[in-house]
Amino acid sequence: MSAQRCAFFLRGVNLGRKNTVRMADLRAVAAELGAAEVATHLASGNLLAVPPETAPPTAGAPSTAPPTAGAPSTAPPATSAPRPADQPTPPDAFALALAAALEERCGFAVPVVARGAGELRAALEASPFGAHTREADRDEAREALLFFASAVPEAQRSALDREVQVLARGGEEVWVGERHARIWYANGAHGSRLSQALFERRLGMTVTARNLRTLRAVAARLEA
């Protein structure tokens, strides 16, 4: 099956004058790594692209250069075995390659988290907070999904959920899933104890957040 268009979310870029990544540069790097149908949404590091089927060399994939004359080929046959469970999918492998290429070009770390169109749409539509979250006056700029770089084991997820439920205040609601968390910041994310940094410290992995307003626009473009 050919790769589908995915969203690649950069973590912590273009925050004031810090960690500046021009969207034109982001698109150029993605294209250089073999991505197709490359586009960006806003200036906050939201890339839409079809990742290459094979991981770019910067992601640790074997070289695709032809073998030395007379040496046996180490390339897999055209009908290779199924991908091992611990081998990154094309979107995740591309996210790693993109992060490495951006760090080399920009001079600072740029973690990247990938999500397919189907997973993104499902996360948007499956609200864990009940019917009141669909009220017309609910500001989707105050509700966010926090995407995890990898799946979180159940025991770790349960411990984190207990902690953040205690930290929630002022009408905040929070839910922790296997691949993302969802937070209603009743009074805005600024100053909330339910920060992206907290999730990163507890999980020991990259976490990047986007509000629902931005994510609905990204999802619509992926599905167009």
**What phi, psi does 21 have (nearest 5°)?**
-130, 115
**Is 132 domain-assigned?**
yes
Q: What is the DSSP string of 87-110?
A: SPPHHHHHHHHHHHHHHHHHSS--
**Is 112 domain-assigned?**
no
Identify which has the larger pLDDT, 224 or 80: 224
**pTM value?**
0.84
Total domains present in the chain: 1
11 contacts 212 by C-beta, under 8 angstroms: no
**C-alpha distances in Å from residue 142, one per residue of 89, 101, 150, 162:** 31, 32, 24, 22
**Is 188 domain-assigned?**
yes
**Is 220 domain-assigned?**
no
Confidence of residue 72 (pLDDT cuts 50, 70, 90): very low
- Domain span at 184: 122-212
How do residues 156-210 score in pLDDT, each as one tens digit?
999 999 999 999 999 999 999 999 999 999 999 999 999 999 999 999 999 999 9
**Is 14 domain-assigned?**
no
180-184, strands of its sheet edge to edge: 173-176, 180-184, 143-148, 207-211
**Is 74 domain-assigned?**
no
Q: What is the CATH number of the domain that holds 200?
A: 3.30.70
**Is 222 domain-assigned?**
no
**Is 192 domain-assigned?**
yes
Kindly report the length of the chain: 224
